[in-house]
Chains A and B, each alone.
Chain A
Amino acid sequence: MRSRTPRHGARILAGVVSVALAGVLSGCGSSSGSGGGAQTVRFVWWGNQDRADATKKAVALFEKKHPDIRVQTEFSGYAAYVQKLTTQVAGGAAPDLIQLDRPTFGEYQHKHVLADLGRYTGSTLHLDKIPANLLSGGKADGKQYAVPAGQTTQMLVYDQKLFAKAGVTVPEDGWTWKQFTEDMRKVGARTGVAGTTDFGWAVDWFDSWLHEHGKQLYTADGKLGFTAGDLEQFWNATAALRKTKGVSAPEATTKMDGSTQNSALVLKQAASEMNYDSNLTSYLSSYQGTLKAAPLPSDDPAHSGMAALPPVYFGIAQHSSHKDAAAKLLDFLVNDPEAGAALGATRGVPANSEVRAAVCGAATGDGKAVCDYEQRVQQRMGPSDTWQWPSGSSAIKTDFQQVYDDVIFGRTSVSAGAERVVKNAQQSLEQ
Chain B
Amino acid sequence: MANTALTRPARQVTARPAQRSRPRRRGQRAAYVFLSPWIIGATVLTVGPMLASLYLSFTDYDLFDSPKWVGLDNYVRMFTEDDRYWHAVTATLEYVVVSVPLKLALALAVAMLLNKDRRGTGFYRSAFYAPSLLGASVSVALVWRAMYGDGGVAGRVLGVFGIDVGSMVDQPRYALLTVIALAVWQFGAPMVIFLAGLKQVPKELYEAAALDGAGPVRRFLAVTLPMLSPVLLFNLVLETIHAFQSFTSAFIISSGRGGPSDSTLLYTLYLYQRGFNDFRMGYASAMAWVLLVVVGLITVLLFRGANRWVFYMGEGKR
Interface contact A250-B260, CB-CB below 8 Å: yes
Cβ < 8 Å to A, chain B residues 45-97? 62-65, 83-84
Which residue, A86, A262, A402, A420, has most C-beta atoms of chain B within 10 A? A402
Interface contact B262-A405, CB-CB below 8 Å: yes
Give the CA-CA distance A392 to B291 in the complex, in Å: 28
Residue of B nearest to A398 (CB): B277
Give the CA-CA distance A411 to B172 in the complex, in Å: 10
Give the CA-CA distance A79 to B150 in the complex, in Å: 22
A33 within 8 Å of B by Cβ?
A: no
Q: A250-B260, A251-B260 are in contact. Are A9 and B279 (CB under 8 A)?
A: no
Give the CA-CA distance A8 to B84 in the complex, in Å: 59
Interface contact A111-B256, CB-CB below 8 Å: no
Interface contact A16-B36, CB-CB below 8 Å: yes
Residue of A nearest to B30 (CB): A9
Give the CA-CA distance A145 to B63 in the complex, in Å: 21
Interface contact B276-A411, CB-CB below 8 Å: no
Q: A9-B26, A89-B64, A250-B260 are in contact. Are A395 and B278 (CB under 8 A)?
A: yes
Interface contact B261-A90, CB-CB below 8 Å: no
| Partner of A4 from B26, B63, B166, B260 at Cβ < 8 Å | B26
A2 within 8 Å of B by Cβ?
A: yes
- Point out the residues of chain B lying under 8 angstroms from A60, CB to CB: none
Q: A90-B64, A251-B171, A255-B170 are in contact. Are A83 and B276 (CB under 8 A)?
A: yes
A113 within 8 Å of B by Cβ?
A: yes
A252 within 8 Å of B by Cβ?
A: yes
A417 → chain B closest CB, angstroms: 11
B32 → chain A closest CB, angstroms: 9
Give the CA-CA distance A250 to B170 in the complex, in Å: 8
Give the CA-CA distance A87 to B272 in the complex, in Å: 13
Cβ < 8 Å to B, chain A residues 234-266? 250-252, 254-255, 257, 262
Chain B 214-240, CB within 8 Å of chain A: the 1/0 string?
000000000000000000000000000
Q: A6-B26, A13-B33 are in contact. Are A111 and B64 (CB under 8 A)?
A: yes
Task: Please tell me the size bucket of the interface on A.
Answer: 35 or more
A25 within 8 Å of B by Cβ?
A: no
- Point out the residues of chain B lying under 8 angstroms from A111, CB to CB: 62, 64-65
Interface contact B64-A113, CB-CB below 8 Å: yes
B137 within 8 Å of A by Cβ?
A: no
Residue of A nearest to B83 (CB): A420
A336 within 8 Å of B by Cβ?
A: no
Interface contact A409-B172, CB-CB below 8 Å: yes
Q: A83-B277, A420-B83 are in contact. Are A251 and B64 (CB under 8 A)?
A: no
A12 within 8 Å of B by Cβ?
A: yes
Chain A 374-408, CB within 8 Å of chain B: the 1/0 string?
00000000000000000000010010001001101
- Point out the residues of chain A lying under 8 angstroms from B166, CB to CB: 251
Interface contact B260-A409, CB-CB below 8 Å: yes
Interface contact B23-A2, CB-CB below 8 Å: yes
Interface contact A12-B33, CB-CB below 8 Å: yes
Task: Please tell me the size bucket of the interface on B.
Answer: 20 to 34
Interface contact B255-A257, CB-CB below 8 Å: yes
Residue of A nearest to B61 (CB): A90
- Point out the residues of chain B lying under 8 angstroms from A358, CB to CB: none
Interface contact A402-B84, CB-CB below 8 Å: yes
Give the CA-CA distance A252 to B167 in the complex, in Å: 9
A267 within 8 Å of B by Cβ?
A: yes
Interface contact B33-A86, CB-CB below 8 Å: no
| Partner of A16 from B33, B170, B171, B255 at Cβ < 8 Å | B33
B131 within 8 Å of A by Cβ?
A: no
Residue of B nearest to A427 (CB): B81
Q: A86-B279, A254-B259, A267-B150 are in contact. Are A12 and B30 (CB under 8 A)?
A: yes
Residue of A nearest to B172 (CB): A409
Q: A16-B33, A87-B276 are in contact. Are A406 and B23 (CB under 8 A)?
A: no
B37 within 8 Å of A by Cβ?
A: yes
- Point out the residues of chain A lying under 8 angstroms from B170, CB to CB: 250-252, 254-255
Which residue, B40, B255, B261, has most C-beta atoms of chain A within 10 A? B261
Interface contact B33-A406, CB-CB below 8 Å: no
Chain B 252-267, CB within 8 Å of chain A: the 1/0 string?
0001110111100000
Give the CA-CA distance A83 to B257 in the complex, in Å: 13
Which residue, A111, A113, A251, A420, has most C-beta atoms of chain B within 10 A? A251
Residue of B nearest to A80 (CB): B256
B29 within 8 Å of A by Cβ?
A: yes
Residue of B nearest to A113 (CB): B64
B51 → chain A closest CB, angstroms: 20
- Point out the residues of chain B lying under 8 angstroms from A89, CB to CB: 63-64
A415 → chain B closest CB, angstroms: 15
Interface contact B33-A79, CB-CB below 8 Å: no
B311 → chain A closest CB, angstroms: 45
Give the 10 A-B residue pairs with the shortest CB-CB distance, closest first.
A90-B63, A251-B170, A254-B260, A409-B261, A405-B261, A111-B64, A409-B172, A406-B261, A411-B261, A12-B33
Q: List 15 A-B contacts (CB under 8 A).
A: A2-B23, A4-B26, A8-B30, A20-B37, A82-B277, A86-B276, A87-B276, A89-B63, A89-B64, A111-B64, A250-B170, A254-B170, A402-B257, A405-B259, A405-B262
